[in-house]
Every structure is written in structure tokens, then in C-alpha cells.
Amino acid sequence: MDTLVDSASGQFELNEDQLAIQDMARAFAADRVAPNALAWDRDKHFPADVIRETGPLGMGGIYVREDVGGSGLKRLDAVLIFEALSAACPAFSAFISIHNMGTWMIDLFGNEEQRQRFVPRLTSMEWLASYCLTEPNSGSDAAALKTRAVLDGDHYVLNGAKQFISGAGDSDLYVTMVRTGEDGPKGISALVIPKDAPGLSFGANEYKMGWNAQSTRQVIFDNCRVPVANRLGEEGDGFRIAMGGLDGGRLNIAACSLGGAQSALDKAVTYAAERKAFGKAINQFQALQFKLADMETELSAARMLLYTAASKLDRKTHDASKWSAMAKRFVTDTGFNVANDALQIHGGYGYLHDYGVEKIVRDLRVHQILEGTNEIMRVIIARHMTSQ
């Protein structure tokens, strides 16, 4: 059944299959993630065991083809899953998004031998995947990357480093963009690198503001040997492959902001009904009511933009990349602002770890930076608007 759009309200009405997917993800999030999320954050614990439990539920390859164990679902289904998981923990949800991005890239751009060799163990989540594009001296300007891969017989020999890699040291496979040719995007190739590749090592886990339930490390190549048979596509295809992964990744990360912000808003509504000041519940003050009304309105607008962008990517419309960028920019900015307002409504208690709101604010902040900063999203949107 197709997704129905109620034209009167502009709200998406989800079909029965989508509602079932959403229910399943919400139940898992409530049962297995929410009770542990604050401890994972406090202890900087990467919950690989609980992440792996999502494999049998079909979350290891949500929009990956079914012959290699994928769920064969749509981008909109994926958005619903990431929104539901991040209501319990945005950092947990975001790691599964990155794993899906890497898995989908191998499924789509890999040859048949590579698909059969790598993807079934990724969709089952026996193996976890990371995505390695950023380098110490190239983030937004990703096409300037310098990690060099030189042919030596049937192997490439890699030297260089990747920066800020989510899951580094914990993941089993690293979908990595390297330079095999000229400067610029056309000299970049994509390699699938196993964790035990000779010459591969990892930096220290970074101390960071949020996303403490997943590791962030450098990935270091010191004469690292990778079989040519692990290259996705041809030499020079790597930048196109990397950008292909990001359209969907941007929707997923926006969904992580949406779910986290909705959870913060729900907490604020509950708290404002219970907390008393000047002899009445604080939700009786109109200033606070107006703030809640704006939070609800802006988050609903963000949700509609995201679902529309996901449906455009499913239909492969010519403007899908622009809409993915618009959704990423708007939803992650709105999500952060709503979560921060929710913290304010909690007063001093919002600043305490146990109330769970400050963690959401910290987790959501990085969504405005990664998968392309929100400034780069504006660059993409404007380029679509001004190119002939």
C-alpha cells in the first residue's frame, strides 16, 4: 500500500506496514535502549551487543536488497526507524544509521562477489561498518582528501589517516575513500577495509560533548595493504559513491534529531504540568505555553519536511539531493533548538544528567556538524537553485 498524504492537513498518514515498522522500533527502543541510555552516556560505553540485537529485526540493512539479507524497505521506513530509536538514544540510533550507510554502499556499488562476501554478515550485524571520508585537513572540502593508495600487484598500499570516524576500533569493516589518482574528486576511489588489514590502526577514543555511546577515533594507515578486489566500482568512482551514501545518511541523521527532540519535548510537557511556581503549575504561564506551542509547531514542520524528502529519495526525483540537504539543515537545527528549549523549561533540573534532557541536547548538537555541516547544506541547496 502506498503512503497516503492527507491533503487537508499536509500530514503524512502512514500505511499499516509503516505503522508496524514504527511500532517494532519503538518497542525495541523502549525495552532495550531507553533503560540503558544514560548509563551508556555516562560510562562512554559502546553497546555493541544491543546494537547487534537489531540485526535479526531487519535494521542491519534496512534499504538493502533482500538476496543479501537486507530488508528491502524504503527511505521513509528507515526514517521512521531512526526517529523511533533516537527517542531512546540519538547516539545509539546514529551508529545504526552509519552502519546502514556503509552496508548500502557495498550493496549498491559493489560487484556480485563483494555483495556476497560482505553484505550478509553486515545485514545480520555479525559485522559492523564504519564510513571513512573525513581527514585531519579535509572535512567540508572532502574532495581534497590526501590518504594515498598506491597499487602494488593485486593490493593497494595505503598511507594517511581518517579523522572523527564513528565506530572506529569497534567496527569490523571500514568503507574508506582514498586517493588513487589526480587531485580533486575524480582521483578518489572507495575501498572496503577489514579491521585486521595489516598496517591499520586506530587513535585514542576522543573525549567529546555528546554521542558518548559510540567511539570516535582516527583510522590510521601505515603501509596498510588492501586487496584490489575490495575496491567498489572503478578507480575514480569513490567520490560519487561517497556522496551517494550521504543523501540517505542526511535523512537518517535528521531523523535522529527529530526523535531526540520529540522525546525532550514530551519530557518538557510532562514536567511543566508537574512543576509549580508562584502557586500554580508552570504550564499555566502563557509565556511557557507559547514556547510549547512553538516547539510543537516547529517539530511538526520538521517532520513533514523530512518525510517528504525521504519520499522524494524513494522516488529518485531530480531534486531529491536538494530536499535531503534542506531536511538535514532544517530538522537538525530545529531539533537542537527544541531540545534546548526543553532543557530551559526544566530549569536547573534540566541541567542534571538524571533528567535525561541535557544528554539529548549534547547528542543533537553534533548533527548540525556531521554528514556535511549545515553551512554546506546551504551550499548544496543554493547550488541547485542557481545552476542552469
Q: What is the 3-state secondary structure (H, E, C) of 201-253?
A: EECCCCCCCCCCCCCEEEEEEEEEEEEHHHEECCCCCHHHHHHHHHHHHHHHH
Amino acid at the residue 162: K
- Closest distance between ligand FAD and the C-beta of residue 332, in Å? 13
Which CB, 76 or 143, lies closer to ligand FAD? 143
Nearest approach, Cβ of residue 254 and ligand FAD (Å): 15
Site membership for ligand FAD, residue 28 (CB under 6 A): no
Q: How far is the CB of 217 from ligand FAD (least distance, A)?
A: 10
212 binds ligand FAD (CB under 6 A): no
The number of residues that bind ligand FAD (CB under 6 A) is: 22
| Nearer residue to ligand FAD within complex by CB, 200 or 370 | 370
Q: Report the nearest approach of ligand FAD to the CB of residue 206 (Å).
A: 7
Q: Shortest distance, CB of residue 12 to ligand FAD, whole angstroms?
A: 29
Q: Which x/- pattern over 155-174 shows residues binding ligand FAD (rule: CB under 6 A)?
A: ---------xxx--------
Residue 175 in contact with ligand FAD, rule: CB under 6 A = no
Which are the contacts of 383, defined by CB distance < 8 A and separation ≥ 6? none
Return d(Cα 339, Cα 6) in angstroms, integer.
28
| 366 binds ligand FAD, rule: CB under 6 A | yes
Beta carbon nearer to ligand FAD, 14 or 133: 133
Task: Tell me how far apart the alpha carbons of residues 38 and 290 are, in angstroms, rounded to a whole number.
Answer: 30
194, three cell numbers: 577489514
SS3 content of the chain, % helix, strand, coil (to 5): 55, 15, 30
The answer to whether 85 and 25 are in contact (CB under 8 A) is yes
Residue 358 is a catalytic residue: no
The answer to the question of residue 369 lying near ligand FAD (CB under 6 A) is: yes
Is 1:16 a contact under the CB 8 Å cutoff? yes
User: Among all chains, which residue has been given the C-alpha cell 559493489?
Assistant: 110
**Which range in 38-46, 185-193, 284-292, 372-380 contacts ligand FAD by CB under 6 A?**
372-380
Q: Is residue 195 close enough to count as binding ligand FAD by CB under 6 A?
A: no
Integer angstrom CA distances of residue 266 from 7, 237, 339: 27, 44, 10
Looking only at the bridges linking them, the beta strands covering 188-194 and 155-166 are unpaired
Looking at 15, 111, 116, 140, which residue binds ligand FAD (CB under 6 A)?
140
Question: Which residues bind to ligand FAD, rule: CB under 6 A?
Answer: 98, 130-134, 139-140, 164-166, 208, 211, 216, 366, 369-370, 372-373, 375-376, 379
